[in-house]
Copies of this chain bind each other. A is one copy, B any other.
Amino acid sequence: MNDNHIVSSFDRELEQIQAHIMKMGGLVEEAILDASKSLKNRDEELAEQVRNADKAIDALEELINDECIKLIALRSPAAVDLRVALSVMKISGNLERIGDYAKNMAKRTSVLVHMTPVEGARGALRRMAREVQLMLKDALDAYIQRDVELAHDILARDHDIDQMYNALFREFLTFMMEDPRYITPCMHLHFIAKNTERMGDHVTSIAEQVIYLVTGSMPDDIRPKDDHYKPELHIAD
């Protein structure tokens, strides 16, 4: 009886924390979309909004962290439940980093509006960000529903994000070589592209947590972490 009581208290409190994760996820998705929209439309006001909205995301991470520590300290969960609680902390860490990258995109947008526009790139970056936002939505669904198939699907889609990044990297190099006026804006755009690719890596890390929680082991085809070297960078040497 006592054991059952402990288990269900744990589950109930975990559910509450997961509701905060979903709320945080919603804010992060919005930040990605708004940041890329502000970049596309050279909208400084929207960029400013994204920068301010990041505080709420950070506050949620702190709240979730505290809730998890309290849950672990008070409920002394067995190893399996402990891993679940730790995975929640990891996921909120991933979400916070994605939010940071969106904020950084907004900050660079505020600088880029005063520079020579680089045609085409902003549209491509917005499509890439949109793709990452959809992946994040699915990753959180996969987490809540413990859907391993969907999680594997996200791992596969992250390769598309990597390819979009590589294509943009080549495009930026071409722009910079054609006209030195493009060098500074392209450096910023390149950072945005790289950071968007990193958002994809953090989404993938959420999907990996799902696979780990359900199957007990990490996916075989574990994908490279942030900023691992990509063979495509061998170009133009």
Contacts and interface: CB of A to CB of B under 8 A. Distances in A.
Contacts of A76: 76
A237 B115 CA distance: 6
A226 B76 CA distance: 34
B187 A228 contact: no
Contacts of A101: 227
A213 interface: no
A5 interface: no
Nearest 9 pairs of A and B residues by beta carbon = A107-B229, A76-B76, A73-B79, A177-B180, A184-B236, A115-B237, A176-B183, A73-B82, A114-B237
Interface string A98-140: 0011011001100100110000000000000000000000000
How many copies of the chain does the oligomer comprise? Answer: 2
Nearest to A77: B73
* Chain A: interface size category: 35 or more
B173 A184 contact: yes
Given A72-B82, A177-B183, A184-B236, 11 more contacts: A69-B82, A69-B83, A69-B86, A73-B77, A73-B79, A100-B227, A100-B228, A103-B228, A107-B228, A173-B184, A176-B176
17 contacts: A69-B86, A70-B79, A72-B72, A73-B77, A73-B78, A73-B79, A101-B227, A104-B229, A108-B229, A111-B237, A173-B184, A176-B183, A184-B236, A184-B237, A187-B190, A191-B227, A195-B227
Contacts of A180: 176-177
Interface string A44-85: 000000000000000000000000011011001111001100
Interface string A165-184: 00000000100110010011
A100 B69 contact: no
